[in-house]
Amino acid sequence: MEQVISEIPLNYVTVKVTKSRIDKGLLAIPVSLIDIFPQQKGCIFIEGHEGVYEKKTYTPYTSTSRECRIGGLNDFYKRYEIRNKDEIVIQKIDDMRYRIVPEKEFKENILDVLSKFENSIDEIEANKYLKEASLLSNLDKNTVLCNEFIGLSKKEILPRKSEHKILSTSKESVPLSMRKILLSIYKGECQISGFTFLMKNGNPYFELHHINPLGGNHPKNLLVVCPNVHAQFTYANIEQSFDSDGWLRAVRFNAENFTVFQIIDTLQLEFKKEIHFT
């Protein structure tokens, strides 16, 4: 098994296929992955075209072949034009259901749905694409949002856009997708004081502060704050301290010092792809 840096914001597992198995319509499961498959010979269900599960023959490692195999994949290999040494993503859905996807298509689908989520214009659209990302990645929604936060934090901080009108200029608002990400990871609690309260609809109240008013909606330029702290950023005498990566670490309001809680300190910053060989 080889472990490399993932190009998408999640950890995942692939199997590198060989021509001999492709020709036989088989997928050989490496010994390193047999724990996620049944121990008895029989059938399992593989998610096929358009999400329909198809029954496939399954042979465990304890068989006379001494190889864990999924059979009946000729159509799969033909449909996706799988070639020798291509990588197949494997996901366990439950005890009998699995998903196998060509890595190229897997990455394209993930990046496409995350882009649509980031550009969602309303709550319904954002929830739709978040659900799709959760299903594609086989992760819960909060983990998807957390991973998206890490991915976005590695991007360049761009200037905040402005829309010029006849008598005024309005600054770009924080995208709905970013609000959902920050709500998920901070639970509405102020990064300075830890304070929040529940609104009548049951959701925690919070405001978002742009550290640099001219900077864009980047994780490093946004703070989850309560109204009192937000007002102090606007009206108090302040001093700010940043680390070498550009995260705000401390703030001083009128000679009173506060530490800034950054969730990034608690997160795994790099995603890995496990490549398993047959």
* Residues 63-75 pLDDT 10s: 565 678 999 999 9
The rounded distance, in Å, linking the Cα atoms of 170 and 161 is 9
What is the DSSP-derived secondary structure letter of residue 73?
A: -
- Domain chopping of the chain, boundaries: 2-102, 107-153, 162-266
pTM for the whole thing?
Answer: 0.88
* Residues 2-102, CATH architecture: Beta Barrel (2.40)
Structure tokens at 119: 């550009």
Residue appearing with tokens 């190009």: 7
Structure tokens at 46: 């593989």
The rounded distance, in Å, linking the Cα atoms of 52 and 154 is 36
Given this model, what pLDDT does residue 195 score?
A: 97
Mean pLDDT of 98-121: 96
Q: 180-199 pLDDT, tens per residue?
A: 999 999 999 999 999 999 99
CA distances from 108 to 54, 56, 105 (A): 23, 26, 5
* Number of neighbouring beta carbons within 10 Å of residue 131: 14
Residue 144 binned pLDDT confidence (cut-offs 50, 70, 90): very high
Mean pLDDT of 131-153: 96
